[in-house]
């Protein structure tokens, strides 16, 4: 990615900054590239034209532009804040993210000793105003700890605790993006630092029962998750967990009824309910799910309407319970049910 950017910006003041530099120094895969330069829009459009990537503005206010490549990677072109790379690095959040390397190659610029912090495993703020300038950095501080296995230094931790009430200020979309990237350990750290409660969340004893970003969001925020701009899918997922009732027992009938109410999230619902001992039964029921129903709605001999759904569900439940297994038995059950 950098070679094409270097060709486009040859002879200009351009620097690779932020996470790309940090991750390369740590030996981590570099998936996205941030380049600080004088004319971000021009550079992004030229890069998009050469690479075939989609070009769009990141922020009208900040002037950044992104090129989204076909393989999922991104190249961001950002304005040099303050007019120079030195001033730009002074506006960044943490010392480990305030290292710049000339795009054309050369010695790294590291005015805040970020490389030393990388060696020590420390997250240290660039200035005491980092969270006032962008309160989303409160969540990002925890994500940096979480993703890198680092720890906030004493000053940074004290500043996070002091500025914790600001965590409600960023746009909901940005908050949600950060929360999705935080593990169960990170959620516990959010609570410890006083960042979870202002957002409407609280630690659940079931937090670690299932490992997915959606599950952690649902069990931490419950119905309050609706305060954030969540997708319809995440809303349905959360509502399913909140409404779920544990299977009465491990019988095929009880498992079928539970799955009917909770799929495709039956395992997550079991974890939420603390009923993980039924997980194997759910997996077995999924594995042996019939490929075709015994009857179709147009074979029931009743007009379209709720009764069709009731009868089909009756057939499906009795089939799952093992009381019927053939089309003829299903038809007999339907006739009996209709009196």
For the chain, the domains span 1-113, 121-203, 206-289, 297-337
Mean pLDDT of 192-197: 97
Closest to 246 measured CA to CA, from 203, 279, 207: 279
Task: Confirm whether 1-113 and 121-203 share one CATH topology.
Answer: no
1-113: CATH architecture: 2-Layer Sandwich (3.30)
Q: Give start and end residues of each alpha helix (H) in 79-222.
A: 85-89, 114-120, 130-133, 137-148, 154-163, 172-180, 184-192, 213-221
pLDDT of residue 60: 62
Query: For residue 238, what are its two tokens?
Result: 């959360």
CATH of domain 121-203: 1.10.110.30
pLDDT digits (tens, 9 = 90+) for 48-82: 999 999 999 987 667 899 999 988 899 999 998 88
Q: 10-19, 152-161, 297-306: which range is least confident on average?
A: 297-306
- Residue 301 above 90 pLDDT? no
pLDDT digits (tens, 9 = 90+) for 123-157: 999 999 999 999 999 999 999 999 999 999 999 99
The pTM score is: 0.88
pLDDT of residue 44: 94
User: How far apart are the C-alpha atoms of 311 and 80, rounded to whole Å?
Assistant: 67
pLDDT digits (tens, 9 = 90+) for 200-236: 999 999 999 999 999 999 999 999 999 999 999 999 9
Instruction: Find the helix or strand (DSSP H, E) in which 84 lies.
Output: none
pLDDT digits (tens, 9 = 90+) for 230-244: 999 999 999 999 999
């Amino acid at each position: 990615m950098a070679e094409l950017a270097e060709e486009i910006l040859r002879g200009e003041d351009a620097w690779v900054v932020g996470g790309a530099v940090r991750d390369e120094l740590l030996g981590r895969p570099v998936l996205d590239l941030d380049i600080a330069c004088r004319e971000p829009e021009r550079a992004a459009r030229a890069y998009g034209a050469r690479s075939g990537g989609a070009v769009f503005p990141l922020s009208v206010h900040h002037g950044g532009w992104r090129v989204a490549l076909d393989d999922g990677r991104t190249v961001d072109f950002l304005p040099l804040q303050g007019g120079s790379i030195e001033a730009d690095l002074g506006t960044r959040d943490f010392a480990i993210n305030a290292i710049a390397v000339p795009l054309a190659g050369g010695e790294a610029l590291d005015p805040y000793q970020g490389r030393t912090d990388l060696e020590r495993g420390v997250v240290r703020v660039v200035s005491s105003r980092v969270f006032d300038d962008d309160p989303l950095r409160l969540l990002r501080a925890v994500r940096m700890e979480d993703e890198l296995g680092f720890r906030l230094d004493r000053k940074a931790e004290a500043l996070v605790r002091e500025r914790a009430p600001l965590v409600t200020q960023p746009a909901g979309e940005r908050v949600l993006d950060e929360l999705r990237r935080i593990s169960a350990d990170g959620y516990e750290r959010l609570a410890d630092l006083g960042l979870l409660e202002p957002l409407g969340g609280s630690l659940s004893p079931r937090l670690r029962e299932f490992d997915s970003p959606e599950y952690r969001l649902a069990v931490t925020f419950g119905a309050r998750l609706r305060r954030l701009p969540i997708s319809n899918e995440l809303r349905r997922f959360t509502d399913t967990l909140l409404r779920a009732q544990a299977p009465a027992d491990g019988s095929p009938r009880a498992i079928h009824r539970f799955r009917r109410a909770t799929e495709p999230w039956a395992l997550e619902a079991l974890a939420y309910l603390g009923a993980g001992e039924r997980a194997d039964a759910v997996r077995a029921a999924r594995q042996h799910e019939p490929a075709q129903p015994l009857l179709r709605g147009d074979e029931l001999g009743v007009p379209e309407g709720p009764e069709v759904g009731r009868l089909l569900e009756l057939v499906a439940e009795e089939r799952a319970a093992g009381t019927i297994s053939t089309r003829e038995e299903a038809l007999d059950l339907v006739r009996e049910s209709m009196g």
